[in-house]
Structure 1
Amino acid sequence: MNSALAPMNASSDWTTTHDLAVVYIALAYGTDHELSDEELRVLKNALQAWESMDEPAVQDLIVEAATVFTEREAEAEFRRAVQDLRSALSPEERRDTIRHLIRIAEADGVLLEREQGLIHTLADAWSLKALSEDLLENTSAVVQRRGEDWGLIHELAFLYILVGHAADEDLSGSTVDVMVERLQEWQPERSLEELRNVVRRALQVYAEQPREDLIYDSVEALKEALSSTHRLTALDDLYTVARADGPLTRTERDLISSLAQAWDVNVRMNGHGG
């Protein structure tokens, strides 16, 4: 790629692989401002499938592309990369890029609406709409239809609220405080106010009635995204939330037990995994 077409703050050795990294980062990070370990692993594999690189080299390339993506106008950088890649890649390479994007989107087990929209945008620009529609229709991920501001942290908060409401109609301030404290263990980089907003957003969805399909989506999304150890931690969170206002009720106990069963985790109802 001609370096004159590269972003102004990119180095003179900016390559097509850097543009691919920008597109992949736009999907993995730009859609929900989270980059899970699994997303990063799939992203690295996608770049190494294009150009053989060792681990330090691919890591450096991702950092360079992420810096361009975050320090400049993100949407403009994505559009520029899409345009440059259209001419730089062969038709089959463009199809492979769409497939890699799908794999990255599926990596955390949840396919967000914004991720679907970004894939469709790129596919339209490359005249590959039929391919993207077919791949998205047959995705292995849980398709998330709760809005582009919804992520895995919201799934956790949603289940906290489900358990917190199991015995009482209203959530007490102390219960919400426990929820926020537990959420901060998962994302310590977020402020308490940001995490309270996560709880508020989850409450908004919960208020629209916790229909069976919404609960199922949350349970399945977290099962796909979390390791068995992290699922056990989430169950401990649910136990702590349930205990925030007093002893565990039979309803709360049964609900947590059913979630543990759905997640293939054995627990004892004393707050510790079994």
Structure 2
Amino acid sequence: MNSPGSWTTSHDLALIYIALAYGTDHELTDGEMDTLTDALREWALMPDEAHVQEVVMEAATAFLEGDARAEVRQSIGQLEEELTFEERRQALRDVMRIAEADGVLLEREQGLIHLLADAWSLKQLGEDLVEDTSAVVQKRGEDWGLIHELAFLYIVVAHSANNDLSSEEIDVMLDRLGEWKPKLSREDIRDIFRRSLQVYADGPEQALIQESVETLKDMLPIVQRLTVLDDLNMVAYADGTLTRNERELIMYLAQAWDINVRLNGRQ
């Protein structure tokens, strides 16, 4: 946790900014970093570049090496106590500027903005900022659920091998998806697959992959995460070969989901 003696309001702000810019898609663009440091410079007691960079690095270390969610919750609470109402309004606007810096407003970014707005008694401002954004709003719809997340990841793995989907791979994906929703017809499963494929085609790919990985980790117990990995292994082998890209992607998912697995296969 943060050291009370050296941790300041600027650190809390920096940690929130980092959670928004990096924590939502695990990517920090130059535009996001520039916007983040510009916003922080306006809050810093010593607004020189070296001090601002030091605050950013210390906040990033706390976010990356600690319990990120706990750190964010603590900073949100601290800022509610330390900032005036008008300062909280400004901080929320800064958060929105950082979210918009890469031109895309992700669903997870929207979620964090609304979380901050609710915690800081700024619900209407949060809604107005999202509604009036100049960024492309990534919204998959209220009916997007677990089965869509699964279909999306199956497509990611199958497509990673050779940038193509074979009929064998599609059949395996539909079979496995059907096992998760046995009451749905084959045509319903195909509709889910087609919609997930369209989301995959629209991108941005890496942000969506990371979001699905984290969502499924939150939604599924470890036994069902193991089932998903088995599904992905079957999808990867559908064309008779487990490629290096497929293997690395499945191993990445296993690590992200805190699962130890060993895959046999040839490049």
* TM-score, normalization by structure 1: 0.53
Q: Which of 191, 208, 211 is equivalent to 2:195?
A: 208
1:108 aligns with 2:110: no
1:39 aligns with 2:32: yes
Q: Write out aligned runs for 1:1-274 (5 A).
A: 7-8=1-2, 10=3, 12-51=5-44, 52-146=46-140, 170=166, 207-208=194-195
**Which ranges of structure 2 fall in alignment gaps of 5 or more residues?**
170-191, 208-267
Instruction: Quote how far apart the aligned CAs of 1:208 are.
Output: 2.2
SS in 2 for 1:145: coil
Q: How many residues align?
A: 170
Instruction: Quote how far apart the aligned CAs of 1:41 are.
Output: 0.5
- Structure-2 separation of matches of 1:77 and 1:172: 45
| Alpha-carbon contact 1:98-1:119 (below 8 Å) kept | yes
| Alpha-carbon contact 1:120-1:129 (below 8 Å) kept | yes
Amino acid across the alignment from 1:18: H
- Structure-1 separation of matches of 2:30 and 2:168: 34
- Structure-2 separation of matches of 1:68 and 1:25: 10
- Structure-1 separation of matches of 2:196 and 2:81: 48
- Greater than 3 Å deviation, 4+ residue runs: 169-173, 213-219
Q: Relative to structure 1, is the Cα distance of residues 34 and 50 closer, same or farther in structure 2, using a 3 angstrom cutoff?
A: same
Instruction: Quote how far apart the aligned CAs of 1:172 are.
Output: 11
* TM-score, normalization by structure 2: 0.55
Between the aligned residues of both structures, percent identity stands at 51
- Structure-2 separation of matches of 1:171 and 1:64: 50
